[in-house]
Amino acid sequence: MIRADITSKFFGEQQVLGQVQFTIAPGETVALLGPSGIGKSTILRIMAGIDTRFEGRVTRPENMAIVFQEPNLLPWRNALDNLLIPHPTLGAVAAREALEKVGLAGRDEAFPGQLSLGQQRRLALARAFAGAPEFLVMDEPFVSLDPEMADQMLSLTETLIAEARPATLFVTHARAEADRLADRVIALSGRPATLSQKADAA
Residue boundaries of the structural domains of the chain: 2-63+132-201, 76-124
pTM for this entry:
0.89
The values of phi and psi at residue 71, to 5°, are -60, -30
pLDDT tens string 53-104: 999 999 999 999 999 888 999 999 999 999 999 998 999 999 999 999 999 9
Whole-angstrom Cα distance, residue 159 to residue 32?
A: 20
Please state, as a whole number, how many other Cβ atoms lie within 10 Å of the Cβ of residue 5: 14
Question: Which of 160, 124, 164 is closest to 145 using CA atoms?
Answer: 124
Give the mean pLDDT of 182-187: 94
Q: Give the pLDDT score at 200.
A: 53
Say which CATH topology domain 2-63+132-201 has.
Answer: Rossmann fold (3.40.50)
Whole-angstrom Cα distance, residue 68 to residue 70?
A: 5
pLDDT tens string 109-141: 999 999 998 899 999 999 999 989 999 999 988
